[in-house]
């Protein structure tokens, strides 16, 4: 008996020793808050500068300029693609010398001010402003000059010392020259008019909205308004008489509190519409939302009294719907007509516009133009259930309309801009009718001529058309079968469907910017685990020159390590799922790391980076705390694959992606011993906030902790466009022949009793996108189910949390550290937010 007891005690002793050895072999990491703080957005801005070339195309020739910043400072370049030349726009050393000599402020080549260039003199010179530290007497503003001059208050002001302001230099530099010319010392005018003025292409008339109606003024009066908006001699002309709130001709007040609406009621406001090329017609889309119910948020922090913000918000399944009219205003006669639309149908309308020239992107004045130059209005309509899509054309003079192309599908239909070509006798139409997105060639009577692209790949959009050679340039995904199907590339193909060719091939994700001539394009390329590079190519795919390679030297010196890509299977065991794994930069494979999944379910996108990005707060930084963080796709996610993949979640908008998220985590744990499958957390924002909470409730024994921010937990009160599109709404006719809309969707709060893990909910209290009511309903259900959970309200914050984004990061870090790393910060201060902040100010 004694011997048996001894053996029993010895066995128990060995078990304890083995358990201790096991813990030593795979210890849980210690939270590393300092590492996470090191890679905050503020600190990253000091480590990483430019990662891509953004070309500013010029109007003369195939030329562009760009700025590129490295750890040595900013350089400005001008590229002439035809001449295969790349030169600095100016010599930084000389520019610093000239600025120092003229302004008397010290400059050097590495620390030039940020320039905002205007090309002038047939693009042979640039102009820019520099503000010096020298104080001079302030010039009286136009508003002051317009006031009466013989008042007591004015006389009092005359006795006061004149106001001081910093001296401004308006410079001109002749490209290749040897000095700067000072044009004047006038400040760059504040362009207040941009907030309200819609200028005709020929500059003859300016349209704007006031008191919900359409107004106009001529050029002379507009120039008065540019100088002084309050000039009492400005003549304004009212065009319409029947505008009213929520049925207006421009003047949206979205984002204004009720008090601001009253304060701004007499101001000029923008009227957004589209001009005919000859400036004689103006097309305006008027929306009647008077019958749409109101929604509200209360801003308690912005002013002395909490203020109410009221806005129209259509929720899924509601019988009412927005009513749209298309008005055509004739400028010479000041008359108008309406396009003949079916006003009974519940539908959305979009008027096609001419693509904006790349060389006009820096222009102050670039009016929106109709797609057609021949007196036609091309537009599309899509039914409320998004299953019936028509491309239509209307006569701009009579409003008579006809349908050219019809698309029908049993799930939602998506679209891309229509392209006109060959003197408006042909058009390119994008559709997913084969289950993959492709372009089709039609004549402008709506007759199909041929399919242009075809195959098991996704065409993203047309970039340009060479009408002489009848060549289409377009971006696409999934053509090379040996690489990640999300990688985007530029291709060309003949309009008869032959001659498909990749123009920037390679195992990278690319972003392209093509010249207006379609002769050249800038290609920025990288993966999440490569240094971003930029190059210039011709429309044949020939490499013209390498432009830039991002300077990541300081980032790498700080300890940064690239994440890792992976491919696994979806829960069906067939579908490929692509993801990215982020590890702590001090990763130790002998440790046992909790796994966190950062999620955004789509269906309009997925939260999986494909290119290198310096936006690290939700991924790289979270990993530094002491976690393995992964982002993956899921069936029903990204639209850049097949329509089957994209529409997988149709009719099941809560649960469709959860099985894939769980299965991915299991596969990764099977492949990597350093992942602790018993500590799986999940977090996300907006749709990701919705998904992360749903995961905790649908798989309560698998997901152990979550942080859900700004989540649309109850899609019955989220906007109808997203909910009815991606989940579906059923049209039903009642006994009287009236169409009703049936919308049934699962919400998160119905599963509140399932919660077993540790959940944190966060919302902004003035979120007018995903209303805070969704999160509050979730909290209400959890309280009624007697559940413990954490809740945080972000005061005064909209959907993105704005200035409180950093605070929300540390809430998330604390939550997962407490429940997975056995560490709960006890300090009142968030030291990581305070450590690098100067204390000179209160």
Measured CA to CA, the distance from residue 100 to residue 103 in angstroms comes to 6
Residue 532 burial by Cβ neighbours in a 10 Å radius (0-12, 13-18, 19+): buried
Q: Which of 496, 511, 504, 497 is nearest to 539 (CA)?
A: 504
pLDDT of 685 strictly over 80: yes
Please choose, from the candidates 517, 538, 523, the residue with its C-alpha nearest in 3D space to the C-alpha of residue 54: 523
Spatial distance between the Cα atoms of 637 and 622, rounded to a whole number of angstroms: 23
Q: Each residue of 36-69: pLDDT tens digit?
A: 999 999 999 999 999 999 999 999 999 999 999 9
CB atoms within 10 A of CB 649: 21
Pair 282, 271: CB distance under 8 Å: no
What pLDDT was estimated at residue 211? Answer: 96
Confidence tier at 21 by pLDDT (50, 70, 90): very low
**What does 456-513 look like in DSSP terms, one character per residue?**
SSEEEEEEEEETTTTEEEEEEES-STTS-TT-EEEEEEETTS---EESS-SSSEEEEE
Residues of the chain above pLDDT 90, percent: 82
> Can you tell me whether residue 614 is helix, strand or coil?
coil
Residue with the bigger pLDDT between 614 and 755: it is 755
CB distance 711 to 692 below 8 Å? yes
At 151 the pLDDT is: 53
pLDDT for 13 equals: 44
CATH of span 192-358+367-412: 2.140.10.30
Q: Over range 682-711, report the average pLDDT.
A: 97
- Which residue, among 93, 70, 67, has the nearest Cα to 78 in the 3D structure? 67
In the predicted structure, residue 793 carries a pLDDT above the cut 50: yes
Q: What is the pLDDT of residue 616?
A: 77
pLDDT tens track for 450-466:
999 999 999 999 999 99
Under the banding of pLDDT at 50, 70 and 90, the label for residue 604 is confident
Q: Which position has the higher pLDDT, 159 or 349?
A: 349
Q: Is residue 471 within 8 Å of residue 494, measured between CB atoms?
A: yes
The Cα–Cα gap between 25 and 483 comes to 37
How does the average pLDDT of the chain come out, rounded? 92
Which CATH superfamily hosts domain 563-732+739-830?
A: Alpha/Beta hydrolase fold, catalytic domain (3.40.50.1820)
User: Does residue 422 carry a pLDDT above 50?
Assistant: yes
> Residue 513: phi, psi to the nearest 5?
-140, 110
Q: What is the pLDDT confidence band of residue 16, given thresholds at 50, 70 and 90? A: very low
Q: Which residue has the higher pLDDT, 747 or 189?
A: 747
Task: Identify the pLDDT of residue 19.
Answer: 43
Q: Report the alpha-carbon distance of residue 348 to residue 380 in Å, rounded.
A: 8
pLDDT at 4 over 90: no
- Taking 90 as the threshold, does the pLDDT of residue 231 lie above it? yes
Characterize the bridge pairing of strands 533-538 and 543-549: antiparallel
Spatial strand order of the sheet with 438-443 comes to 419-421, 426-431, 438-443, 448-451
**DSSP H or E run through 343:** none
Predicted pLDDT of residue 162: 78
Give the CA distances from residue 192 to residues 63, 270, 427, 592, 639, in Å, rounded to whole numbers and listed in that order.
31, 11, 39, 58, 39
Mean pLDDT across 190-215: 94
Residues 647 and 564 sit within 8 Å (Cβ to Cβ):
no
Q: 471-498 pLDDT, tens per residue?
A: 999 999 999 999 999 999 999 999 999 9
Res 149: pLDDT: 46
Q: Are strands 758-764 and 790-794 parallel, antiparallel or unpaired?
A: parallel
Within 700-751, where are the H helices?
Answer: 720-726
Q: Which of these, 830, 819, 834, 791, lies nearest to 627 by C-alpha position?
A: 819
Residue 20: the pLDDT is 45
- pLDDT at position 430 is 98
Tell me which residue of 436, 452, 831 sits closest to 642, measured CA to CA. Answer: 436
162 vs 767, residue with greater confidence: 767
For the chain, the C-alpha Rg in angstroms (whole number) is 30
Instruction: Report yes or no: 365 and 355 within 8 Å, Cβ to Cβ.
Output: no
| Residues 217, 222, 224, 225, CA torsion sign | positive
Q: List for the chain the helix, strand, coil content (%; round to 5).
A: 20, 30, 45
Of 89-93, 316-320, 581-585, where does mean pLDDT reach its minimum? 316-320
**Neighbouring-strand partners of residue 67:** 76
CA atoms within 13 A on the CB side of 754: 17
Taking residues 757-765, report their average pLDDT. Answer: 97
- Residues with Cβ within 8 Å of 581's Cβ and at least 6 positions away in sequence, in order, are 563, 564, 565, 566, 628, 629, 630, 668
Backbone torsion region of residue 371, taken as left when φ is above 0, otherwise alpha when ψ lies between -120 and 50, otherwise beta: alpha
With cut-offs at 50, 70 and 90, classify the pLDDT of residue 26.
confident
Q: Give mean pLDDT, residues 252-280.
A: 91
Q: Which of 312-321, 708-717, 734-743, 765-774 has the lowest mean pLDDT?
A: 734-743
Does residue 146 or residue 599 have the better pLDDT? 599
- Quick check: do 192-358+367-412 and 563-732+739-830 share a fold? no
Q: Helices then strands (H, E): number in the chain?
A: 17, 44
Q: Which residue has the higher pLDDT, 782 or 158?
A: 782
With 0-12 / 13-18 / 19 or more C-beta atoms within 10 angstroms meaning exposed / middle / buried, residue 86 is: middle
> Cα 571 vs. chain centroid, distance in angstroms?
30
Least confident of 275-284, 372-381, 718-727: 718-727
Report whether the peptide linkage leading into residue 14 is cis, meaning its omega lies within 30 degrees of zero.
Answer: no
User: Mean pLDDT over residues 554-563, rounded?
Assistant: 96
Question: The tokens 């559709």 sit on which residue?
Answer: 431
Please tell me the least confidently modeled range out of 142-146, 361-365, 714-718, 793-797: 142-146
Model confidence at 255, in pLDDT bands (50, 70, 90)? confident
Q: What is the largest CA-CA distance in the chain?
A: 116
Q: Residue 526: which residues within 8 A CB-CB, separation 6 or more?
A: 51, 508, 509, 532, 533, 550, 611, 612
Q: Domain residues of the chain, as ranges?
A: 55-140+163-191, 192-358+367-412, 563-732+739-830
Of 11-15, 98-102, 517-521, 729-733, give the lowest mean pLDDT range.
Answer: 11-15
Q: How many Cα atoms within 13 Å fall on the side-chain side of residue 557?
A: 8
- Confidence class of residue 365 from pLDDT cuts 50, 70 and 90? confident
Torsion of CA 420, 425, 431, 435, to 10 degrees: -140
The mean pLDDT value for 14-23 works out to 43
Rounded to whole angstroms, the Cα distance separating 538 from 526 reads: 19
Helix or strand holding residue 433 (H, E): none
Question: 652 vs 418, which has greater pLDDT?
Answer: 418
pLDDT at 143 over 70: no
């Amino acid at each position: 008996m004694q011997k048996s007891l001894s053996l029993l005690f010895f066995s128990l002793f060995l078990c304890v020793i083995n358990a201790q050895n096991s813990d030593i072999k795979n210890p849980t990491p210690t939270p590393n808050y300092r590492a996470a703080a090191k890679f905050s957005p503020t600190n990253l801005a000091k480590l990483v500068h430019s990662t891509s070339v953004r070309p500013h195309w010029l109007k003369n020739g195939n030329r562009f300029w760009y700025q590129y910043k490295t750890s040595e400072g900013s350089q400005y370049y001008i590229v002439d693609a035809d001449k295969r030349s790349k030169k600095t726009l100016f010599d930084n050393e000389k520019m610093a010398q000239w600025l120092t000599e003229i302004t008397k402020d010290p400059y050097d080549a590495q620390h030039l001010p940020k320039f905002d260039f205007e090309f002038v003199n047939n693009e042979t010179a640039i102009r820019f402003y520099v503000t010096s530290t020298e104080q001079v007497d302030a010039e009286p503003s136009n508003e002051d000059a317009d006031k009466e001059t013989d008042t007591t208050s004015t006389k009092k002001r005359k006795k006061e010392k004149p106001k001081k302001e910093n001296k401004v230099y308006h410079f001109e530099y002749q490209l290749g020259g040897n000095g700067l010319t000072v044009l004047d010392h006038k400040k760059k005018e504040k362009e207040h008019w941009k907030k309200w003025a819609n200028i005709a292409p020929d500059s003859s008339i300016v349209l704007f909205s006031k008191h919900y109606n359409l107004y106009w003024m001529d050029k002379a009066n507009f120039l008065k308004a540019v100088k002084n908006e309050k000039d009492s001699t400005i003549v304004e002309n009212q065009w319409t008489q029947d505008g009213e709130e929520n049925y207006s001709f421009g003047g949206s007040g979205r984002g204004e509190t009720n008090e601001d609406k009253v304060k701004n009621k007499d101001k000029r406001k923008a009227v957004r519409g589209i001009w005919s090329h000859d400036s004689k017609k103006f097309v305006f889309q008027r929306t009647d939302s008077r019958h749409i119910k109101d929604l509200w948020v209360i801003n308690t922090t912005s002013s002395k009294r909490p203020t109410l913000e009221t806005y129209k918000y259509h929720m899924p399944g509601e019988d009412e719907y927005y009513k749209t009219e298309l008005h055509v205003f004739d400028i010479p006669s000041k008359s108008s007509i309406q396009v003949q639309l079916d006003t009974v149908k519940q539908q959305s309308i979009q008027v096609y516009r001419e693509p904006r020239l790349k060389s006009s992107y820096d222009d102050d004045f670039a009016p929106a133009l109709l797609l057609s130059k021949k007196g036609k209005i091309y537009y599309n309509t899509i039914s409320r259930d998004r299953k019936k899509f028509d491309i239509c054309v209307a006569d701009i003079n009579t409003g008579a309309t006809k349908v050219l192309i019809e698309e029908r599908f049993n799930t939602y239909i998506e679209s891309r801009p229509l392209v006109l070509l060959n003197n408006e006798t042909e058009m390119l139409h994008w559709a997913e009718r084969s289950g993959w997105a492709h372009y089709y060639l039609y004549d402008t009577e709506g007759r199909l001529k041929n399919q242009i692209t075809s195959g098991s790949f996704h065409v993203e959009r047309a970039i340009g058309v060479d009408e002489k050679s009848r060549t289409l340039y377009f971006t696409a995904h999934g053509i090379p079968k040996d690489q990640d199907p999300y990688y985007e590339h530029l291709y060309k193909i003949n309009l008869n469907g032959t001659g498909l060719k990749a123009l920037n091939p390679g195992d990278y994700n690319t972003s392209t910017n093509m010249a207006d001539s379609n002769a050249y394009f800038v290609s920025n390329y990288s993966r999440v685990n490569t240094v971003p590079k930029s190059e210039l190519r011709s429309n044949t795919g020939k490499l013209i020159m390498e432009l830039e390679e991002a300077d990541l030297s300081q980032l790498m010196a700080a300890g940064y390590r690239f994440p890792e890509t992976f491919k696994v299977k979806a829960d069906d065991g067939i579908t490929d799922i692509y993801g990215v794994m982020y590890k702590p930069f001090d990763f130790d494979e002998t440790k046992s790391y909790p796994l966190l999944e950062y999620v955004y379910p789509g269906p309009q996108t997925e939260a999986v980076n494909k290119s290198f990005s310096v936006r690290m707060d939700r991924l790289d930084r979270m990993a530094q705390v002491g976690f393995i963080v992964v982002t993956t796709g899921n069936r029903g996610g990204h639209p850049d694959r097949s329509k089957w993949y994209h529409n997988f979640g149709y009719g099941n908008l809560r649960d469709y992606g959860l099985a894939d998220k769980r299965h991915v985590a299991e596969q990764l744990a099977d492949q990597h011993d350093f992942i602790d499958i018993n500590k799986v957390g999940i977090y996300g924002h907006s749709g990701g906030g919705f998904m992360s909470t749903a995961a905790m409730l649908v798989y309560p024994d698998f997901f152990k902790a979550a942080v859900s921010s700004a989540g649309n937990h109850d899609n019955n009160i989220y906007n109808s466009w997203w909910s009815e599109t991606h989940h579906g709404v059923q049209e039903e006719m009642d006994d009287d022949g009236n169409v009703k809309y049936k919308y049934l969707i699962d919400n998160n709060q119905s599963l509140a009793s399932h919660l077993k893990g540790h959940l944190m909910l966060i919302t902004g209290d003035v979120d007018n996108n995903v209303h805070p009511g969704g999160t509050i309903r979730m909290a209400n259900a959890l309280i009624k189910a007697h559940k413990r959970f954490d809740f945080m309200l972000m005061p005064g914050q909209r959907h993105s949390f704005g200035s409180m984004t950093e605070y929300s990061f540390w809430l998330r870090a604390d939550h997962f550290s407490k429940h997975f790393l056995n560490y709960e910060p006890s300090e009142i201060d968030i030291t990581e937010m305070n450590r690098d902040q100067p204390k000179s100010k209160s």
